[in-house]
Structure 1
């Protein structure tokens, strides 16, 4: 057995004392929660939990485990009574998850500390006597930025009311205020955890805006203040390095519920919420600054902020420059006439206006390339465009089509009726200009083309802008291709080469400062080719795209579409950025944060600040070192090429297995996910009734496997790949790659995280299933093989051995939700029988309710 380092053991001890022990203490307060039949529920739940644990250890079936519990501990075995009590158990467990979240968040600062050795201040200190290093840092700071983009993906289960309770509960737990904790738990007991109907895109935006207003508004300003102070100490001019992005209301890819009017509403909402934040801060400033010489300016700014925050009748416009001028006037008066008293308070608001302008977060527009092609075809049938293109345009080769594009502004007259998606696209293109005029250019300046497969997809979109109200000389839009599948990632470099050599496109890039954003999707690439192939394909795409950009002197920024779990690009993301070599553009870090990742990593000011700082430190440290990435050396590249190919073959063979989709449909809540009222986005892209894997969203795909506690997308194929290398006598090379490559090590560690949330014991009874027994055994064997090979590679005795706090947290959370997993299997099993409508509805609701708690407890399961 390996001996634990002292620091590792101390962290685990701290976690047990600060989190586990306190959770168990406050968990006893659940006995007073105001639930129906509270006494029976509170008494029976601990017995039920223990019964579930014992049943799983004995490899029992969920149906047998639950039936035996009711036979042993209750007198009434009526199906309705059983369902009623199971619902009450679910209510308890949902709230136990919230309590554990809050206890863990309250202890955040005691459990997490940034690595001071890799901080910006540390590097600046080293540069005092090293002019070359100092110049490098100054250049890096001038170019560096971090953009976090909040997305409306359907894995964020807590409504705003619950988020507010969690925030207050966390604050009370920090000071062990038992009375307040007890009241908040009672409030939690009476507060609904879900919506009765699915939210609209505007509802989703309002829900996520809670984080902007209550977390990011403060956390981003705090981090920027730290950067400003560090740079000022070393006489380096500061600049804005944090940007926020926003997808709800703008992302219409596969979501027919997003319309142009929703986009406008969201832009207005973001602006109004921001000005309420400004007004709140300004009122505090006004209470402090009561001196002569600033009265008129303060009164003027007060009225303007109040009107923009609360008067819905005003015509919105970008007033950030005006605000900065007035705030600087106030600050200068304080410095000149009042010894600078409270000038720091003014500085804080100036910093926030510099960060958030009049828009708060940039609203990205996203649409599928296939829809955009249809819009272009529709426009080509209208005057005067119809005279420019030949009738056989769609049959031509891409190069011929590109040669026919004119890139001239035109006033198109539409005579043919457009369908919903086409009409929405045309309206949105026109309305982006309106949003820029009211909230500033940064309010909405990116159009993301998902499923981008050719340069023509981007060039045709540019024409759509020119045909619908935009001037070729004032095209203040950044066109962002999104490459997702393994095939598209492989061809991305060639596509961008075509664009960079196109005269109009390069002229457009010149007007945008020669900056190009490219989005890379982890979720669909994993669903397409498996975990290892997805990560390796994205790495190779980044290298190729960086090479092409450098060839044409383009400033490249990668926008990573990362989900919560490692199978969708999540996990220890900052380690990926820290491990980039000089061959990959990394001075502009952009990534999506979505689902439970928002609440788990950015749910409080402390955690948001910590995670932003980690990402900034990762980017700075990688930029300072500019090391060659050893994965590009022939030895290591061959190793990863071969492993990725073997893993891909194993995963594709699994996907093509005739039982693959039916297994998910029968044993997971996949077919019920569409009935969960948390998202405006459909579970699958097509509207047809028959479920096809290619139409299934990656989120639903990953969620279904995580509900089964099998997490196949997060590891399947990696065990086979490692074993093949060992059998071929290449183990020493694999081990060398693991030891020397931070990128490969992070892939392995994130894979271990996925596997730590996997428990095949829960579904062990599947092995005896007449239809699916062999299929389950195949999945289980790959898990055991992967676990064995990963532990051997890392030299560990257990998964996540070097992350004791996270490992312990996962173990406690999995224990809390084990009963939910069994209840889900019980309900799904009952749904296999002939039932009347009431019974069908009851068991569906039972299964659906378990999804909430399981996902929330996992924090990055979907």
Structure 2
């Protein structure tokens, strides 16, 4: 029986949006569009309720009678509807949370409030809560993977719609005010209709950098301080009283980025790109500081006549005045009594000089000497700026102005503690063979054939050269183009740490790490640029090996054990705080061996890494390479964190935020604040297990045995289809729009590792998942599970009961099946079959589709049995209703897309370029629209 969801305000909002979209279509679109949209909308809603082959054929026939131009507008109408539905969902959830807060009492499960109540109930003392906070570090890493196919312009337009729609909910509005707000909202929809959702040119890395920065400007600079305030508010309410030492909430958020640093498989990320990314990031955060300092100077207007600031603050004001006066700048002497205002205005001047120097470097507009002058006036580094802010904060407290100090002033301190002068720590990623080739070339100049050496010999040689005072670089040497570019990255890391911040870089991620030598190769290259000390006293590059294939996951223990047993490597780790970061790749392991095996091996890998780190007395931070879709490690953040293996989360977690996930989480400050608090709350809860190590935290050994069996059977079935079924990859390219996705202007990185190789290995994980999602298979998210569950149940009569018990007691298994349920619910085999009809080899396509369909039916059947439910995602009625609302609107788009693929491919095959262009326009718009409806695409 379905749980009723009280969503009347949501339905009212969706109805209003629908009415306004209808008005826009009648006013703006081709005359035939509104009637077509209405007929398709109503027709497919009815088909969802009562399947009717005759009616479906009639609707599909109607689609074939429309011109490409009319189809483009029909698709755009549906796309706008999905965008508005997403906004309605987001607003509804935000308003429900706000109502809960206003009512008082316990809040939603993923909140700070619920988490701390649970920790109190578990017996954690305030001292233990403080210890948890002191070790807390939550690090989302923004990436440019091309699954966010909406333009930045469109996202800004949707933000305006969000704000306009939110105003309509204000209580006490008169009918006149209500009409005016609806008219304003309608105006925004007219703009939306006239805004092209498709990029007309190929995206460049610079575009991706700009898009990433936009989330900070539009949302995160507001959301981050609010997240800290939420934590402090909860602590005050539940813990702090007059008899206790107050719990201090430190700044636990940091942000990372791959945009401009991820060069693995992207030939367009050059050394100059990395420099530009870092400078743009610095400009973005300095502008925010400049703006906030000026605002604060008009707020903190205390007069020395009525308060006594600290002596330290007064001395700092004199130093600033001397610095500015000496350089011919204004020292704001008219504010001699308004000490805080004067200090803030002088700080503003100094930050402005930092900003102008960075902009001059970025745009090459000033001489080196002029830039140096500005940097001398500005702050040397973020710690100096932060020290000034803390001086003011301390001074305000000294004369009982805590309310002022803890307002927008503390928000600025939080921003500086979180973002420094670098905004995001830029990770560098490169594939392991690039380093091996570069090292081989450097050593060849010394008469050493590195490539001929075995692993043990390589390790010995690498350590020898790491400890040598001699450099492998020679001014006279002429390196190959690839080696020269690889080396240039390390030079940039050295230079940018001095120019931007010592914290400018996060990790150096080595993709396709197969051996310990791959890690030492990076360190040896870094040593040539003074990033690594040959005596082991410092190491200014944190190397994070990335294990991403099934084979790599099986070799993690061997690689890390070898590294940890190398004395010099341990010395470098010690110099870096005895912290080893390890990155786990969800996407490629899933593409390689299937969802069940990938998920389980990643789970087991985390335990192995943690045990190894503890054995060698090292801290360990796991870096999760998650995508948006379930087939790439996606799913709700809170559930993902608390379902990690017990004891593996030690207060820190780092994970990629990819593609469309960025827009869903961080486009609006209200949702961004929620997402940040949800993630931090989950991290606190998962880390709290370390405070009390009970046996109940351990996983039942029988569950491990069951998962080992399921993983083995799941991988076997997955590989049977993807590796050992003749014609499977041609089927994938014919039965999905993956080839056409590769032609869209949605990212700077090529869709395949090798354009001449259409194999499963060559196709990247993102288009792999994206293609299956568009054609409503969502195959990577579930294939193989059904067979695994069936085989296990067939072994013994009570095995189903064991699985049902495991589903209730083992968070990992429940999270896995919950995410898979969502993907199964979005899958539609009838629609997928129509895509299969596009295949050129009909006989082979029929065979392959039958295999996929049988596995889908099997998976759905056994997931329902194990979860002991009658309908998919029935235990999450809000999600179920949200998806059910969208499906009747996605269905006609899939029907349109199948027709468009046929027309486009036919005209292309006949060499009719102009006609192919006509069909390509609505085709790429259909990909946009289906993505908006499905929400997670890749």
Q: Equivalent residue for 1:681?
A: 749
Q: Equivalent residue for 2:295?
A: 284
Q: Distance in 2 between matches of 1:571 and 1:628?
A: 28
- The alpha carbon displacement at 1:225 in A equals 2.9
Residue deviations 1:261-290, cap 9 Å, x none? 010001000111111111222222122122
Q: Distance in 2 between matches of 1:105 and 1:24?
A: 15
Alignment of 1:399-548 (within 5 A): 399-405=456-462, 406=464, 407=466, 408=468, 410=471, 412-413=473-474, 417-472=478-533, 473-548=537-612
Q: TM-score, normalised by structure 2?
A: 0.85
Match of 1:236 among 226, 247, 266: 247
Q: Equivalent residue for 1:191?
A: 195
Q: Distance in 2 between matches of 1:731 and 1:779?
A: 23
Q: Secondary structure at the match of 1:772?
A: helix
Residue deviations 1:294-318, cap 9 Å, x none? 2431221121233334562345675
Residues 290, 640 of structure 1: alpha-carbon distance in 2 compared, 3 angstrom cutoff: same
Q: Which runs of 5+ in 2 are unaligned?
A: 101-105, 169-180, 303-337, 361-370
Q: Equivalent residue for 2:789?
A: 722
The answer on 1:735 being equivalent to 2:797 is: no
Q: Secondary structure at the match of 1:553?
A: coil
Match of 2:913 among 833, 837, 860: 837
Q: Equivalent residue for 2:222?
A: 218
Q: Secondary structure at the match of 2:557?
A: helix
* Conservation of the 8 A alpha-carbon contact between 1:366 and 1:447: yes
Q: Equivalent residue for 1:271?
A: 282
Q: Distance in 2 between matches of 1:628 and 1:710?
A: 41
Match of 2:451 among 394, 398, 408: 394
The answer on 1:164 being equivalent to 2:227 is: no
Q: Equivalent residue for 2:269?
A: 258
* Conservation of the 8 A alpha-carbon contact between 1:59 and 1:764: no
* Conservation of the 8 A alpha-carbon contact between 1:149 and 1:244: yes
* Conservation of the 8 A alpha-carbon contact between 1:59 and 1:765: no
* Conservation of the 8 A alpha-carbon contact between 1:767 and 1:774: no
Q: Distance in 2 between matches of 1:419 and 1:717?
A: 45
- The alpha carbon displacement at 1:201 in A equals 1.1
Matched pairs, number:
838
Residue deviations 1:394-421, cap 9 Å, x none? 2222111111122035160165644444
Q: Equivalent residue for 1:74?
A: none
Q: Distance in 1 between matches of 2:24 and 2:40?
A: 18
* Conservation of the 8 A alpha-carbon contact between 1:766 and 1:772: no
Q: Equivalent residue for 2:351?
A: 305
Residue deviations 1:642-679, cap 9 Å, x none? 11111000000010211211111112111122211010
Q: Equivalent residue for 1:30?
A: 21
Q: Secondary structure at the match of 1:558?
A: strand
Q: Distance in 1 between matches of 2:344 and 2:614?
A: 49
Residue deviations 1:506-529, cap 9 Å, x none? 001101110111100110010011
RMSD: 2.6
- The alpha carbon displacement at 1:139 in A equals 2.4
* Conservation of the 8 A alpha-carbon contact between 1:293 and 1:333: no
- The alpha carbon displacement at 1:170 in A equals 0.8
Q: Secondary structure at the match of 1:520?
A: strand
Residue deviations 1:461-484, cap 9 Å, x none? 100011234341332111000001
Q: Equivalent residue for 1:361?
A: 424
Q: Distance in 2 between matches of 1:87 and 1:125?
A: 52
Q: Secondary structure at the match of 1:710?
A: coil
Match of 1:848 among 924, 931, 936: 924
Q: Distance in 2 between matches of 1:750 and 1:131?
A: 32
* Conservation of the 8 A alpha-carbon contact between 1:107 and 1:174: no
* Conservation of the 8 A alpha-carbon contact between 1:368 and 1:449: yes
- The alpha carbon displacement at 1:377 in A equals 1.5
Q: Distance in 1 between matches of 2:602 and 2:416?
A: 36
- The alpha carbon displacement at 1:766 in A equals 6.6
Q: Distance in 1 between matches of 2:835 and 2:83?
A: 31
* Conservation of the 8 A alpha-carbon contact between 2:752 and 2:762: yes
Q: Equivalent residue for 2:815?
A: 746
* Conservation of the 8 A alpha-carbon contact between 1:580 and 1:586: no
Q: Secondary structure at the match of 2:254?
A: strand
Q: Distance in 1 between matches of 2:290 and 2:274?
A: 24
- Name whichever of 768-777 and 264-273 sits farther off: 768-777
* Conservation of the 8 A alpha-carbon contact between 1:31 and 1:38: no
* Conservation of the 8 A alpha-carbon contact between 2:735 and 2:836: no
Q: Distance in 2 between matches of 1:629 and 1:154?
A: 42
Q: Distance in 2 between matches of 1:847 and 1:425?
A: 39
Q: Distance in 2 between matches of 1:722 and 1:285?
A: 61
Alignment of 1:785-804 (within 5 A): 785-804=858-877
Q: Secondary structure at the match of 2:584?
A: strand
- Name whichever of 318-327 and 166-175 sits farther off: 318-327
Q: Secondary structure at the match of 1:590?
A: strand
Q: TM-score, normalised by structure 1?
A: 0.92
- Name whichever of 593-602 and 352-361 sits farther off: 593-602
- Max radius of gyration: which structure? 2
